[in-house]
Amino acid sequence: MDLKRTELKFIITIDEYHKLKNELIHLMSLDTHAKVVDRMYHIRSLYFDDLYDSRALEKADGIEFHQKYRIRSYDMTASRLEYKTKVGNMTNKQSFWLTKEVEDALMNQDYEVLYKNLDDSLIQGMVGRMKFDHLKPVLWIDYDREAYTHKIGDTRITFDKDITATTYGRAFPFKRNVLEPRTLVLEVKYTNILPDFISKVIFHRNFQVLSYSKYYMGWLLTQV
């Protein structure tokens, strides 16, 4: 699989966020999905894993090749099935729009309905791997995202706030805050090249590197 996109993650404070954002707004464009009022949009992801939580534990177990399956929606609109792979800081993502019928079938692991309604060989292969690996929906991750873009390197800088984790399928689900108060996740994503003028703004600061995914951090909280 071709891994050309670099993804870096950091935990930053609210104060650091305001300072960095005030510089980036002069260098980058606000993401077109953002709402005019607050510059943000909501992301909800449902992650799939097996009985042994293998996808959650890949990083902790020292496995170099990471892979995740999730259903993701933006501002609670139409959903996509995403398959994301990562080696080190290099990533690749495949995604497919879902009808409501297919989304429900995925959540219910109804493969008869899935195969009947899927005519794309790539998504058929993805669903086939999910069935082979006995993956089931396990955890919701929700957050608000503020994103900035630049055409060079297809660069995206995102600030993810109010991140919560909720176990899937519980009769009385309990939503947990993933991060400490007054902190958020900064993500830097680019293909092949990060513009120097953006790099200088970000990397002269001593931000705390985030080694684990939102899914892993949320999963860890639900084990308590």
Q: Is the pLDDT of residue 76 over 90?
A: no
Confidence of residue 70 (pLDDT cuts 50, 70, 90): very high
Q: Is the pLDDT of residue 1 over 60?
A: no
* Predicted TM-score (pTM) of this structure: 0.93
Architecture of domain 5-222: Alpha-Beta Barrel (3.20)
Where are the domains positioned within the chain? 5-222
Q: Is the pLDDT of residue 106 over 90?
A: yes
Confidence of residue 2 (pLDDT cuts 50, 70, 90): low
pLDDT tens per residue across span 147-193 = 999 999 999 999 999 999 999 988 777 899 999 999 999 999 999 99
Q: Tell me what pLDDT residue 185 has.
A: 98
Question: What are the CB-based long-range contacts (under 8 Å, 24+) for 91-96?
Answer: 91/3, 91/5, 91/6, 91/7, 91/189, 92/1, 92/2, 92/3, 92/4, 92/5, 93/5, 94/122, 94/126, 96/120, 96/122, 96/123, 96/126
